[in-house]
Amino acid sequence: MRNILFVDDEYERHNWINFLAAGKTISIRHAYDADEAEEAFKQGPWSAIFLDHDLGEKKDGTYLAEVLTQTGYQGIVYIHSFNPVGAQRMYKILTAAKIKALIVNIYDKDETRLNWLKQ
């Protein structure tokens, strides 16, 4: 069973990730804001973490990327933000800390490109 943390303030995206993961050996923990995500970081271990940038509050994905670099996290981070500037900033922070990060489109319906479901 793979344990995934999915961080986003949009309920629609949480529903979409549940739909994509249905029938697979994946357990998803949902966090809807930065405070929930910070608490969840401590509760791992996580096979993968999905981070959005714009979380509708003062603490955003860049903040969470910085926090994650201090946790010793060894997995992969999928950045699924529609904010390209924020996504690039998060990517640079994570990769500078030697955390594997990829910017992905979670709405891509092409099964051949949904590699994160298979990893």
Given a cut of 50, whether residue 119 has pLDDT beyond it is no
pLDDT of residue 110: 56
pTM of the model: 0.89
Total domain count, the chain: 1
Query: Does 61 or 111 have the greater pLDDT score?
Result: 61
**Can you list the pairs that 91-99 forms with residues at least 24 positions away whose Cβ atoms lie under 8 Å?**
93/62, 93/65, 93/66, 93/69, 94/65, 94/68, 94/69, 96/69, 97/68, 97/69, 99/68, 99/69, 99/73, 99/74
Residue 31, domain CATH: 3.40.50.2300
Give tens-digit pLDDT for 17-54.
888 888 888 889 999 999 999 999 999 899 999 998 98
Domain span at residue 74 reads: 2-117
pLDDT digits (tens, 9 = 90+) for 97-115: 999 999 987 776 655 555 5
